[in-house]
Amino acid sequence: MRIRKTAEVRQAEIIDAALRLAARLGPERLTTEAIADAVGLTQPGVFRHFPTKQKLWEAVAARIGSMMETRWSKAQSPEDSPSSQLRAVVVAQLRLIQATPAIPAILFSRELHTQNEALRKYFLQLLGRFHGLVAEFVGRAKEVGEVRRDLEPDDAAYLIVSLVQGLAVRWSISARAFDLTGEGSRLLEVQLSGFRRARRGGRR
């Protein structure tokens, strides 16, 4: 006997398929027909769950946002130092991107930058939250003497976020030819070394 799937399960399947296909085909070539084929539905079946493609994009964006927020939250441990928490959050972001190639595909797509204002604003706000979290940890690290006193947390956060975004672009256009998390962790340490207080004699 065939078990009828709930609307919530079907919606989750459609969003999962959209993420897979966005990574493989590119956001601009993503069609409801391709999504329907991937989940074993007709196009009208997809539209029963998401009346417009815009609604589907919004659901995809919400899924990405939820995954990011969850990863950031789980990476934080109050028992760790601020700099250790900063590392954990950045690594969590890198791991999520590596596990979900659709994220850079969407973030740097024409769909996001020129064709979908609501989507662009949503991701801008999401990246703003990531920046704010990084800046918060840099500020705490500054308070306990883990980084230089003259370091501006917002500026430091922009450098770290730019490192993540730049790596994501390089990883994506290189056809994912390197370990994003490993390379990101290495370069993050280079970045953090420049944030630390100088020791006597000019050595860090």
Q: What is the pLDDT of residues 83-127, one digit of tens each?
A: 999 999 999 999 999 999 999 999 888 777 787 888 899 999 999
Distance separating the N- and C-terminal Cα atoms of the chain: 69
- For the chain, the average pLDDT equals 92
Cα separation, 198 vs 204, in Å, equals: 5
Give 201 or 143, the one with higher predicted confidence: 143
- For residue 63, give the nearest of 36, 100, 28, 34 by alpha carbon: 100
Question: Residue range 3-9: average pLDDT?
Answer: 86
* Structure confidence at residue 203 as a pLDDT band (50, 70, 90): very low
Region 50-77 average pLDDT: 95
- pLDDT at position 163, please? 98
**Per-residue pLDDT for 178 more than 80?**
yes
Whether residue 61 has pLDDT greater than 70: yes
In angstroms, rounded to a whole number, what is the distance separating the alpha carbons of residues 158 and 166? 12
Query: Which one has a higher pLDDT value, 113 or 129?
Result: 129
pLDDT band at 15 (very low <50, low <70, confident <90, very high): very high
The tens digit of pLDDT for each residue in 179-195 reads 999 999 999 999 999 99
Has residue 198 got a pLDDT over 80? no
Spell out the domains of the chain, with CATH numbers in brackets: 1-51 (1.10.10), 53-202 (1.10.357.10)
Calpha distance 184→101 (Å, rounded): 15
Rounded to 5, what percent of the chain is helix, strand, coil? 75, 0, 25
199 pLDDT band (50/70/90 cuts)?
A: low
Q: From CA 139, how far away is CA 155, in angstroms rounded?
A: 11
Calculate mean pLDDT across residues 62-73.
Answer: 97
Res. 2 pLDDT band, cuts 50 70 90: low
Q: Which pLDDT band, with edges at 50, 70 and 90, does 197 fall under?
A: low
